[in-house]
Structure 1
Amino acid sequence: MTEATDLAAFLRARRGELRPRDVGLPETARRRTPGLRRQEVALLAGISVEYYVRMEQARGPRPSAQVLGALARALMLTGDERDYLYRTAGHRTPETVGPNRVVSSAVRTVLDSMVPLPAYIVDAGYEVLAWNRCAVPFIGDLATMPGAERNMVRWIFRQAADDPRWDDAETLSFARSTVADLRATYARYPGNPSVTGLVTELLGTSPRFAQLWAAQDVAVRRTHRKQVPHPEFGVLDFECQVLDIPDTDQRIIVYCAAPGTSTGEAFRRIAEATERTAAR
């Protein structure tokens, strides 16, 4: 077999494993064969249908690295599959250029199944990518906010340096650990515009961030304890459990409270109220 035929077989196989709902496309009438259509993959990758058809038929010139990157995103390839795609097409695997912001349907299912626990997904740069309904009372209805407003680091450091909340030891500890984790991301994605831009922005707008960044602390985020005041249930005490998704460098943040505790009961009642509101 040649490189072209290996690549063609791989693309056909990966296309056949996806459903429209996996990539955010509407389900249509019954299909003769499983998987996405060639037209749908071409649309998602931003290339012509004719060009993609030639690739699946092992015809035409070797695809560029840019085309391969677009196909890797369109087909939701894992890191290992992405590496194979590039090697099979005769290219060196490029360094990962930025945090992955595609949330798979399986991970979304896991997220929604965590009720009544609030949970949300962040990428390596702390962009909130998805959330369940139970998280809305804690992080807000992000569906109504522009993308730039969904970054957790911006939320923290928009507080002025003299804001009284910085007097709280927990707030300062969380901010310090967040900056240390962001520095690890900064090194993992060198030169990435979104990560570099976020750091540059905060260095210019937040003296507190600049002070913590200058400390040169590096530490990947771990599970930590959190206390949040609630207007009805008082102070909620819980663990922020961090679940890593290795294939995408994303994390699921879950607010965990033991059943039978006051916070666990509060989570249950908040979830019920949220469901009632959504059903109206």
Structure 2
Amino acid sequence: MNKLDLAQFLRHRREARRPAEVGLRVSGRRRTPGLRREEVAWLAGVSTNYYERLEQARAPRPSTQVLAALAKALRLTEAESEHLARLAGQAPPVRDEQVPDGVLRLLDRLGPVPAYVVDERYDVVAWNALAANLIADFSALPPEDRNVLRMSMSSDRCSSPNDEFARQAAADLRRAAARHPDDARLAQLTSEYADFNAGFAASWTDHEVQPRPTLRKHIDHPDLGTLELEAQILQSPSSPHRLIFLTAEPGTPTHETLTQHHQPPPNPERRTSRDFD
């Protein structure tokens, strides 16, 4: 159980929730942003003293029933509720280093769409030829450098990461840190990226954990020029891996460029990190 992260997560979610959102009627001015502690306690059916101790990182591990009541009181999403349970030590860690065969088959069948697979640390663990041509030659990189965050700190193809990406990365790594609190490499990566990107650091501090299925991506390609893409994110149902494929809206210059220069090959090429490590 991570008492400090649990306390901070509850406080940030409480301060972000407005009384009207949980069915409370208030009058006059309020000095406290969001909900008060006693209001959350009342909504969850626990004592105010116990809830205060939770936010002070002094309470014992809450039961499954208490966690469910708090999630309902704070109107947490499914992802936030799962994160709350993991912080409280009520959900086992999950890490499967092998990319499921179904995800690899899908990667092969995307045709002319650039796509790659990342794990919980944002390590690129599988990719097709178009992704390698568009983003980087992953096979030429050392395994520790095949990481989306590390590449964004050094690549000359990508513009400065936007706030949308920073929030998504912070949410993803927050959930991963809750699942694997002893992962030193994940902690180091988080610290380095927080120093590099202020938006990531702010979102990390706010304990955001809500995933976003679609992100915008800007790539400056040496041959194809500036590309404006949508990164569609598909979560594997059987593992922590995510398939990310890059598309452009039909009729846009980027779509025309990709169509012209990236015709589907007769034999789609797919590579995984295991082919090179």
TM-score for both structures, normalised by structure 2 = 0.53
User: Is 2:210 the partner of 1:213?
Assistant: no
Matches of 1:269 and 1:220, distance apart in 2: 33
Given that residues 120 and 132 in structure 1 are in contact (C-alpha distance below 8 angstroms), is that contact kept between their aligned partners in structure 2? yes
Q: Indicate the structure whose relative CO is greater, using CA pairs within 8 Å and at least 6 residues apart.
A: 2
Shift of 1:189: 2.4
Please state if 1:228 is matched with 2:219.
yes
Post-superposition offset of 1:157:
4.0
2:234 alignment counterpart: 243
Q: Mind listing any 5+ residue stretches in structure 1 that lack a counterpart?
A: 1-93, 160-164
CA distance in 2, matches of 1:207, 1:253: 22
User: Alpha-carbon deviations, 1:99-129, whole Å to 9, x = none?
Assistant: 4221133322210211211000001211101
Aligned equivalent of 1:192: 183
Residues 178 and 119 of structure 1, relative CA distance in 2, 3 Å threshold: same
**Alpha-carbon distance in structure 2 between the residues aligned to 1:243 and 1:105:** 15
Matched, 1:124 2:115: no
SS of residue in 2 equivalent to 1:108: helix
Indicate if the aligned counterparts of 1:244 and 1:252 stay in contact, CA closer than 8 A.
yes
Bigger share in helix: 1
Question: Compared with structure 1, are the counterparts of its residues 195 and 264 closer, same or farther at alpha carbon in structure 2 (3 Å cutoff)?
Answer: same
Q: Size of the alignment, in residue pairs? A: 174
TM-superposition CA deviations, 1:214-249 (whole Å, max 9, x none)? 343333242122333334444323321111102111
Cα distance in 1, alignment partners of residues 101 and 164 from structure 2? 34
Bigger CA drift: 209-218 or 139-148?
A: 209-218
Aligned partners of 2:151 and 2:263: how far apart in 1?
27
In structure 2, relative to structure 1, the CA distance for the partners of 1:273 and 1:104 (3 Å cut) is closer
Whether contact under 8 Å (2:100, 2:238) holds in the other structure is no
CA contact (8 A) 2:107 2:116 kept: yes
Would the aligned equivalents of 1:184 and 1:220 in 2 still touch at CA under 8 Å? no
Alpha-carbon spacing, 1:272–1:207, altered in 2? closer, same or farther (3 Å)? closer
Unaligned runs of 5+ in 2: 1-90, 270-277
TM-score (norm 1): 0.52
Q: Distance in 1 between matches of 2:135 and 2:218?
A: 14
Q: Is the 8 A contact 1:115 1:271 kept in 2?
A: no
> Residue 133 of structure 1 contacts residue 274 of structure 1 at CA under 8 Å; is this kept in 2?
no
